[in-house]
């Protein structure tokens, strides 16, 4: 049973990582062209503020950010891309919460939400922080923090570890929560 759950969680996080990678490589057309031979898709980005600083290698979109490319949609407060030369090194997505949706080929929609999402390209590490969750079809995975290391193929998730104090502002401790929906029968 644990093995089946672990395979599901790995697949779910990999799908989330794949659409974030797809998103990040799409911004810089030269970088995207070197990574894929797929037909280029139109990228639609809307924000209230834009900062493109070539010297510092920062592209920052802020204020009601909307990003759409193919079946990938991102709604966030801020999206910041960090480059070293023309090579993308890091992506930060912030929101209250930030919402990322993707419809991978022949798969159910994948939706991720968190207050902060960070992807470190060189480390192949994706971290979702702050009421993080990932949903695909009937399957749900949530926790305060979800981290996926694609090289080591490890998933780490944690609930809220802060101590509860008798106050209206404090949050109760939350645990990691996994819901695995029934397997759909496939016809051969």
- The percent of residues above 90 in pLDDT, for the chain, comes to 24
Q: How far is CA 68 from CA 76, 103, 140, in A?
A: 12, 12, 24
Q: What does pTM read for this prediction?
A: 0.71
The confidence score (pLDDT) of residue 80 equals: 92
Distance of CA 85 to the CA centre of its chain: 24
Which comes out higher in pLDDT, residue 4 or 55? 55
Distance CA 60, CA 58 (A): 6
* DSSP SS3 for 171: coil
The confidence score (pLDDT) of residue 95 equals: 96
The confidence score (pLDDT) of residue 159 equals: 84
Which comes out higher in pLDDT, residue 87 or 43? 87
Structural domain spans, the chain: 2-33+45-161+172-179
The confidence score (pLDDT) of residue 185 equals: 67
pLDDT in tens, 171-186: 556 788 878 888 776 6
Least confident segment among 1-10, 128-137, 147-156, 173-182: 1-10
CATH superfamily of 2-33+45-161+172-179: Lipopolysaccharide (LPS) transport protein A like domain (2.60.450.10)
Average pLDDT, the chain: 76
pLDDT in tens, 22-50: 555 444 444 444 444 556 778 788 999 99
């Amino acid at each position: 049973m644990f093995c089946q759950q672990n395979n599901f969680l790995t697949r779910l996080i990999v799908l989330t990582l794949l659409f974030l990678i797809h998103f990040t490589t799409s911004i810089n057309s030269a970088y995207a062209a070197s990574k894929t031979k797929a037909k280029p898709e139109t990228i639609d980005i809307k924000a209230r503020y834009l900062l493109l600083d070539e010297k510092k290698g920062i592209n920052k979109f802020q204020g009601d950010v909307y990003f759409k490319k193919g079946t990938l949609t991102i709604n966030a407060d801020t999206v910041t891309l960090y480059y070293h030369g023309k090579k993308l090194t890091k992506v930060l997505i912030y929101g209250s919460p930030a919402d990322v949706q993707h419809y991978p080929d022949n798969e159910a929609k994948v939706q991720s939400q968190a207050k902060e999402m960070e992807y470190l390209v060189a480390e192949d590490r994706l971290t979702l922080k702050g009421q993080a969750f990932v949903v695909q079809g009937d399957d749900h995975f949530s926790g305060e923090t979800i981290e996926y290391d694609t090289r080591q193929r490890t998933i780490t998730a944690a609930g809220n570890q802060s101590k509860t104090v008798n106050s209206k502002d404090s949050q109760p401790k939350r645990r990691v929560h996994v819901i695995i929906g029934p397997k759909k029968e496939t016809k051969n």
